[in-house]
């Protein structure tokens, strides 16, 4: 009887050991499979809003022709020579086409994830590239926060526009009209100034867009850009031209040479006004400074004037461009 009990206990122990071994083998197989799955299918990373912005910027680069990118990098180096402390030389450049017809491109310069400036590069009717305007510091046209506030005044939002099948397009029309086109089904398009958020007259902007012809961009030689030199920038405090309206009754200042401008810049306050076209310049605008570019090979000079900066983005634009539509006044004639 005792012998049978001993045999029974021995058999029970053997069964328990066998069961334990089988369990360990099963667990080992499970973890091996799980480990293999982890290696073959890595977990999806979380995507932040900043990641989406960076991805979008990389996609935009594909829409800028090589000639435009080379032109932008050369001009970034030129700006770096005059503004070494602003890190233009080390900046990352992202490109956004400004339709229609891809006549212009917005180039934003960022360093350590902060905007340090921008450029707008445009193609002329002859297919040549030109620096239509540029800016220094964190201000830039097509600012999303400025756009959101402008849409709120129209009882709209970016989410609402996209949810209803609408479309939002950054656009640029020479000489200096930077704007957003907001399209919604069964609604007339809205046009918003990209430098101050003001609503633009739809009929007039439509006429401007109708006059624009799609352009087939051809690569041009940009090697001449290396001959340009940039002087130091001359800045002055900005002000509100509407605080003192005496300048409206005065005669505009005549400018024919760069020397005329350097003399004028000594005045206490200078205002640019495009008269009946002020709506397309965001004007009248205060003058906040200037910067001279000159070509050592062709002996050509371009004077860029800083307009705005009080209630709008400050933009450096060619003096010749401003003189086509407007004139300069002094605050205390």
Tens-place pLDDT, residues 92-117: 999 999 976 658 999 999 999 999 99
E strand or H helix at 25: helix 2-40
Q: Residue 316 pLDDT > 70, yes or no?
A: yes
The token pair that represents 316 in the structure block: 């450096």
Beta carbons within 10 angstroms of residue 174's beta carbon: 17
Q: Residue 25 pLDDT > 70, yes or no?
A: no
E strand or H helix at 106: strand 104-111
At 41 the pLDDT is: 29
Q: Residue 254 pLDDT > 90, yes or no?
A: no
As beta bridge partners, residue 325 has none
What is the pTM assigned to this prediction?
A: 0.78
The span from the CA of 300 to the CA of 37, in Å, is 66
Q: What percent of the chain has pLDDT over 70?
A: 74
The span from the CA of 24 to the CA of 85, in Å, is 65
Quick: pLDDT tens for 55-64: 333 344 567 8
Q: Which has the higher per-residue pLDDT, 85 or 291?
A: 291
The span from the CA of 31 to the CA of 267, in Å, is 80
The token pair that represents 91 in the structure block: 């900046």
Tokens 């800045």 — which residue?
235
| Cβ pair 121, 233 in contact under 8 A | no
The token pair that represents 172 in the structure block: 């640029």
Q: What percent of the chain has pLDDT over 90?
A: 45
Find how far residue 25's CA is from the centre of its chain. Answer: 60
Mean pLDDT of 19-32: 42
| Cβ pair 159, 148 in contact under 8 A | no
| Cβ pair 270, 289 in contact under 8 A | no
The closest of 150, 153, 179, 151 to 164, measured between CA atoms, is 151
Tokens 């009887």 — which residue?
1
Rounded-to-5 percentages of helix, strand, coil across the chain = 40, 25, 35
C-alpha torsion sign, points 264, 269, 275, 281: positive
Residues 6+ away with beta carbon under 8 Å from 237: 288
C-alpha torsion sign, points 272, 274, 277, 280: negative
The token pair that represents 239 in the structure block: 């002000």
At 226 the pLDDT is: 63
Q: Determine the 3-state secondary structure of 238 from DSSP.
A: coil
The token pair that represents 132 in the structure block: 């239509």
In whole numbers, what is the pLDDT of the chain averaged over residues?
78
Radius of gyration of the chain (CA): 31
| Cβ pair 325, 175 in contact under 8 A | yes
The closest of 135, 107, 109, 132 to 122, measured between CA atoms, is 132
């Amino acid at each position: 009887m005792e012998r049978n009990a001993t045999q029974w206990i021995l058999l029970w122990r053997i069964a328990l050991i066998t069961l334990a071994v089988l369990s360990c083998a099963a667990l080992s197989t499970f973890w091996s499979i799980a480990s293999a799955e982890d290696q073959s299918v890595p977990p999806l990373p979380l995507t932040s809003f900043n990641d989406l912005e960076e991805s979008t910027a990389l996609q935009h680069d594909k829409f800028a022709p090589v000639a435009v990118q080379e032109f932008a990098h050369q001009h970034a180096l030129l700006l770096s020579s005059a503004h070494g402390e602003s890190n233009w030389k080390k900046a990352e450049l992202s490109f956004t086409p400004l339709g229609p017809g891809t006549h212009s491109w917005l180039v934003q310069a960022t360093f350590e994830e902060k905007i340090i400036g921008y450029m707008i590069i445009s193609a002329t009717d002859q297919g040549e590239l030109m620096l239509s305007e540029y800016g220094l510091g964190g201000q830039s046209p097509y600012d999303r926060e400025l756009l959101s506030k402008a849409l709120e005044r129209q009882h709209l939002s970016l989410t609402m526009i996209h949810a209803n099948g609408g479309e939002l397009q950054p656009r640029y029309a020479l000489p200096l009209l930077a704007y957003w086109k907001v399209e919604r089904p069964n609604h007339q398009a809205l046009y918003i100034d990209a430098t101050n958020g003001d609503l633009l007259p739809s009929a007039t902007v439509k006429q401007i867009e109708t006059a624009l012809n799609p352009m087939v961009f051809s690569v041009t030689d940009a090697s001449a850009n290396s001959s340009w030199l940039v002087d130091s920038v001359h800045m002055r405090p900005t002000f509100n031209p509407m605080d003192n309206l005496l300048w409206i009754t005065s005669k505009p200042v005549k400018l024919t040479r760069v020397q005329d401008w350097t003399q004028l810049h000594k005045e206490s306050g200078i205002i640019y006004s495009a008269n009946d076209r002020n709506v397309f310049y965001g004007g009248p605008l205060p003058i906040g400074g200037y910067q001279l570019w000159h070509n050592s090979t062709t002996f050509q000079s371009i004077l860029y004037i800083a307009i705005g900066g009080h209630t709008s983005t400050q933009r450096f634009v060619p003096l010749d461009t401003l003189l086509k539509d407007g004139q300069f006044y002094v605050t205390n004639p």
